[in-house]
Structure 1
Amino acid sequence: MTSPALAHQTANGRMYSRSLNESPTVPSITTVISQAPSDMSGWAGHMAATTLARDPGLAAAAGNPARLKSLAKEASAAADRFRNAAAERGDRVHFYAEQVALRALGRPHQLAEAREELRSRGEDAFAARLDEWWQLYGVEPLVPEITVWNQEVGYAGTLDLVARIGGRLCLIDFKTKGTDRSGQVKAMDEKVVMQLVAGMKAQESLLDAGAGSWEPWAYGSDPILLGVAVGETEVRPMQANPAVLRYHWYKFCALRRVWETQLQAAEAGRALLPIGPPAVHPEAAGAAALD
């Protein structure tokens, strides 16, 4: 995950502040979306089992319970390691995409360094496919990595790219994806629609993080919302269906209320309190003594 200047990791998830000198006050778009239930236990179990089965030391540990326990413990963290590695790779690909946009805009960039970083890690194919897509679609960048804010609902986030493609304004979110067995880039999660529609519904965009200056959001009027899956074999852009946007916006707003309510519940105090047996009434105690 990239780290915009005003984003902060907190105990309540990723949050945004209004300036570099202020504390965070609203959750990020991704933090809000993360309130939706997501059961990854099956995938995590598969990753652990696969890692253990492929461990070269498994056969030698077969008669050693302590060693088997150690291998199992290490394998159980396989999902976290995979997820962290994928997130770091995604950051590198996102950084490269940002540099491509900055170069096209004639602004200072680190394109050569970003490309070399990918090449050194065996990830150059992601950059090559992104370059091909960029040229094929005639992407005309307007603003890369733009931080937006919605005061009414209470959230903020950073959009990967605002651009024009074929003369149409587009809000773009890049997703770095693996490749399936058929050689195609894996499908994106439909949650990207919530992410994009929340960006579209922003009210302000950041001008200067240090000064904490913002301006009215200029790109929310009827843009095309594009989730762009970047893989090693291809880039697959997918448009958010305009007919469903209102429902994904309603869902996002509901999840924002869930986030706030959970925070209020956590801050309200202990949910369960100890309780002793009821006191014995004096009359009942006297009757017991007569018996």
Structure 2
Amino acid sequence: MTAPLLAHATPHGRMYARSTSEQPTVPSITTVISQLPSSLGGWFGHMAASALSRDPRLPGALGKPSELRTAVREAATAAERYRDDAALRGTRVHHYCEQVALRALGRPDEVDAARLALEEHEEGGFAQRFDEWWELYDVRPIEAELTVWNATLGYAGTLDLVATIGGRTCLIDYKTKKTDRDGFVKALDDKVVMQLVAGMKAEESLVDPEQGRWGPWAHGDQPLLLGVAVGQTEVRAMRANPAVLKQHWLRFCALRRAWEAGLEAEEAGRALLPIGPPPARTPADESAHSTHSA
């Protein structure tokens, strides 16, 4: 994931400010989408069990409780390590894709350094396949890493790329993907449609982050919405189905309301308060209770 200048990590998720001198006020598109329920318990368990089964110390640790506990403890963090490694890989790939667009726009770029960073992590295939896709699709960038804002609903986000392909304006979101056993990149999640349609529904785009200057959003008139899976073996572009955009937008709106409701619940105060036992009854209380019952 990239780190746009106006985006901030907060206890309520990633949020955006209007300028570099202001505090963040609205959630990011990805923070809104993260309100969707997600059950990863099975995956976390699988990752831990797999890590433990591959641990070369396991045979020697059997019958030695302290060594076995150490191996189990390290295996339990396998999912977190995998997630963190994937995030760093995604940042490197996104950075390379951004630099390619900047070079095509004639702006200062770090293409060579970004490619070298991928190669140093044995990820050079991402750059090679992306370059092939860029040329094959004749991508003509308009803006890279463009931050957008919707004041009506209250959210912001950063589009990976706005470009023309085949004469059509496209809003593009890159997803770094691993390759399956058949050599194909793994499928995109349908949530990318929500991410893209939220970008399309922007009202403003950032002009100057230091001054907090924004301009009218100029690319919301029925652009192509493309999710682009970038892998080591191929790059696959998928178009958001125009027939489902309304439903995915409504779902995004509902998630935005859910995020706000959660924030309000957190700020309302303590949800649970301690309560002690009732006062002990005296003989007079018991007598009065008996008289009342009669």
Superposition TM-score, scaled by structure 1 size: 0.97
Unaligned runs of 5+ in 2: none
- Residue equivalent to 2:117: 117
Output the amino acid matched with 1:145.
Answer: E
Q: Partners in 1 of 2:154 and 2:283 — Cα distance?
A: 56
Q: Partners in 2 of 1:35 and 1:289 — Cα distance?
A: 55
Output the amino acid matched with 1:49.
Answer: A
Output the amino acid matched with 2:226.
Answer: L
Mapping of residues 63-78 of structure 1, within 5 Å: 63-78=63-78
The structural deviation recorded for 1:278 is 4.3
1:285 corresponds to 2:286: yes
Output the amino acid matched with 1:176.
Answer: T
| Regions of 4+ moved over 6 Å | none
- Residue equivalent to 2:57: 57
1:12 corresponds to 2:12: yes
Question: Secondary structure of 2:93's partner?
Answer: helix
Superposition TM-score, scaled by structure 2 size: 0.96
User: Among the aligned pairs, what percent are the same residue?
Assistant: 64
Output the amino acid matched with 1:153.
Answer: L
The structural deviation recorded for 1:288 is 6.6
Q: Partners in 1 of 2:31 and 2:189 — Cα distance?
A: 16
Q: Partners in 1 of 2:290 and 2:141 — Cα distance?
A: 89
Unaligned runs of 5+ in 1: none
Q: Partners in 2 of 1:269 and 1:210 — Cα distance?
A: 35
- Residue equivalent to 1:204: 204
The structural deviation recorded for 1:152 is 0.4
Mapping of residues 1-291 of structure 1, within 5 Å: 1-278=1-278, 284-287=285-288
Spell out, residue by residue over 1:116-164, the C-alpha distance to the aligned partner (whole angstroms, 9 max, x if none).
1111111100000000000000100000000000000000000000000
The structural deviation recorded for 1:284 is 3.9
Output the amino acid matched with 1:93.
Answer: V
Are residues 209 and 281 of structure 1, via their aligned partners in 2, closer, same or farther at CA, if it must alter by over 3 Å? farther
Q: Partners in 1 of 2:24 and 2:283 — Cα distance?
A: 57
Output the amino acid matched with 1:261.
Answer: A
Output the amino acid matched with 1:286.
Answer: S
Question: Secondary structure of 1:169's partner?
Answer: strand
Q: How much is the aligned-residue C-alpha RMSD, in angstroms?
A: 1.5
Output the amino acid matched with 1:121.
Answer: H
Select between 46-55 and 276-285 the one with higher mean Cα deviation.
Answer: 276-285
Spell out, residue by residue over 1:231-259, the C-alpha distance to the aligned partner (whole angstroms, 9 max, x if none).
00000110011100111100101000110
